[in-house]
Structure 1
Amino acid sequence: LRDYNSSKFQVSEFILLGFPGIHTWQHWLSLPLAWLYLLALSANILILIIISQEATLHQPMYHFLGILAVVDMGLATTIMPKILAILWFGAKNISLPECFLQMYVIHCYLAMESGIFVCMAIDRYVAICRPLHYATIITESFVIKATVFMAIRNSLSTIPVPVLAAQRQYCSENQIEHCLCSNLGVTSLSCDNRTINSIYQLLLAWTLMGGDLGLIILSYALILHSVLKLNSAEAASKALSTCTSHLILIFFFYTTLIVLSITHSAVKTAPLIPVLLNVLHNVIPPALNPMVYALKNKEL
């Protein structure tokens, strides 16, 4: 009987309601969100133009920064046009294929950003701990291979997220208290067991993001160990200053992810908090990253 009902009443689209609890005045949020989106696009495009035109910036570190800029613009563009359409025009409907595609692209871009942070940490490790071998290890070939590896890794590992979500039965409820198609938000509407979705989401977070964070911590632990052995305080300060902007971005990116995962499971009385955090986590880093690098990097 359940199979009969599921096939008969399978929903054809989802309705993204926006920010829970503030539907009557949520359109006011469109102004700061639109400003952040335009800032993210303009700042990252400017970064790409500067890196491409300035010969002194044709270095692996800036190549990775350029790739990060492309990923940031892709991440922001995946969600912001739809969010602004919801807030401005009430375009809340989204088809199931579109929803699952958005879910996949968000996961893919977030994993790619995490992967690029690993590549940048390795670049800084070699520059500070193995300076004599930097030119032979961190080459343009290394940048291309590392980027291609990260792209393939993230593209393949995130495929099960939308595939598993698409296999669930959505037979009655189709209203999502969110601005975007998050995995847990969508699968919470399913009529059947979604344990496998939650398990894979957790597995992906721990193996992919957790593994990346572990490599980054290891790289900076080795950098710190190497810097502390320097006799000159000035040399140590100069070495660490090249890592400052990178560390700020990493701290913000992973801290927000951890807070987001905690609030998703812990905050039941105020569902607005995880939704707002989720949206801001996808739009603030793209706007913040170029400015942090520009302010902390004299060459740029």
Structure 2
Amino acid sequence: MGYTNLTYLNPKTVILIGLPGLEHVQFWIGFPFLAVCLVALLGNIFLLIIIPTERSLQQPMYIFLAVLAATDLGLCAAIAPKMLAIFWFGSYSMAFDACLSQLFFIHALQGMESGILLSMAFDRYVAICEPLRHTSIFTPFFLHQVVLMVAIRATLLVGILPILLKRLQRFHSVIVVHSYCEHMAVVKLAAEDVHINRSYGLFVAFAILGFDMIFVFISYILIFRAVFRLPQKEARIKAFNTCTAHIVVFLEFYILAFFSFFSHRFGHVSPYVHILLSTVYLLVPPALNPIVYGVKTKEIRSRVVQMFIVKPNNQQ
């Protein structure tokens, strides 16, 4: 790694410092994050076991939930190992190409999660507002197409981010002020014009998160309008209950996402506050999603109970 006048040329490694200002306690901070990751790991694995094997859950909503669970597992795998290695073992160094790979997987999986939430909102909209057409619209072929398009959109849009970073050659620092390789944290290291990087990063954020949030919001306006027009109170409550789990997941994901996004670019919060918030935003939803759907879905709840209760052998 060469340098001239404190400018690093084509760096091969970067240094992730974890939580600036909290280095003396980040060892202990790692334990709550480990607990969150373990909850996410166990909860999403349970979903991936239960949904394919429970016939009553072979519905579009729960198929999307299984895809969401797989995405959440990927997010935890992309973030947690290196972050905990920094906190506990002082493993600060990371190859630059590995950093770009981590950046890609984190943001691509984040984009996929947003797309799946939009797909789930569309499923609820059709189920409540156009119930007679639900089966004809959400065919297995259509479900495969939706999941494939969500994956392709995130991969193509996010895939350009590391390519744009790779073309940069001069960096004023190789110290990433973060606990993982986040796009803007890496962009800020460059000693060149990064106008394109910043602009494209904003475009990706609004093309995925902004677009999805707007249409999820529109879907629920139409859903609520249809629900409140139902003549019977019991029917309104039943229809609303089918959406509550998704509403909770939707709110936690997008509120944390945009708070993290805008505080990083336009806010004046301490670096460790932003890093903690952005890490919480990525790791807490994967842990909460299985809990929310497990509590709200009787079939999932009963299967989890069955998995932990050993039935005694019947004796004649």
Do they fold alike, i.e. is TM over 0.5? Answer: yes
Q: Which consecutive residues of structure 1, in runs of 5 or more, have no partner in the other structure?
A: none
Q: Tell me, what secondary structure is at the counterpart of 2:190?
A: coil
Aligned to 1:28: 28
Q: CA deviation at 1:237?
A: 0.8
Residue correspondence of structure 1 range 170-189 to structure 2 within 5 A: 170-189=170-189
Which stretch of structure 1 is more off in the superposition, 48-57 or 120-129?
48-57
Q: Secondary structure, in 3 states, of the residue corresponding to 2:299?
A: coil
Cα distance in 1 for partners of 2:203, 2:173 equals 27
CA distance, structure 2, for counterparts of residue 7 and residue 277 of structure 1: 31
User: Which string of whole-angstrom CA distances, capped at 9 and with x for unpartnered residues, describes residues 93-135 of structure 1?
Assistant: 0111001111111110010000000110111011111111111
Report the counterpart of residue 60 of structure 1 in structure 2. 60
- Structure-2 residue corresponding to 1:93: 93
What one-letter code is carried by the residue in structure 2 that aligns with 1:71? T
Cα distance between partner residues in 2 of 1:152 and 1:266: 30
Asked if the contact 1:267–1:274 (Cα under 8 Å) also holds between the matched residues in 2, the reply is no
Alignment of structure 1 residues 141-290 onto 2, 5 Å? 141-268=141-268, 270-290=270-290
Q: Deviations over 1:67-90 (max 9, x none)?
A: 000000001110100001111111
The number of aligned residues is 298
Q: Which amino acid aligns with 2:60?
A: P
Contact kept, 8 Å, 2:37 with 2:76, in 1: the verdict is yes
Q: Distance in 2 between matches of 1:111 and 1:8?
A: 31
Deviation at 1:5, TM superposition (A): 6.9
List runs of 5+ in structure 2 lacking aligned partners. Answer: 301-316
Question: What's the CA shift string for 1:43-86, capped at 9, x where partnerless?
Answer: 10011111122111111111000000000000111010000111
CA deviations over 1:200-250 (Å, ceiling 9, x no partner): 111111122111111111111111111111111110110011000000010
Kindly report which structure 2 residues correspond to 1:11-90, keeping only aligned pairs within 5 A, or say none: 11-90=11-90
1:150 shift after superposition: 0.8
TM-superposed CA distance for 1:172, in Å, is 4.1
Give, in whole Å, the separation in 2 of the partners of 1:260 and 1:175.
Answer: 21
RMSD: 1.7
- For normalisation by structure 1, the TM-score amounts to 0.95
* Matched position secondary structure for 2:298: coil
CA contact (8 A) 2:68 2:113 kept: yes
TM-aligned CA distance change 1:237 to 1:170, over 3 Å: same
Give identity over the alignment, percent.
Answer: 38
Q: Would you say the 8 A contact 2:9–2:169 is kept in 1?
A: no
Distance in structure 1 (CA, Å) of the matches to 2:112 and 2:270: 30
TM-score, normalisation: structure 2: 0.90
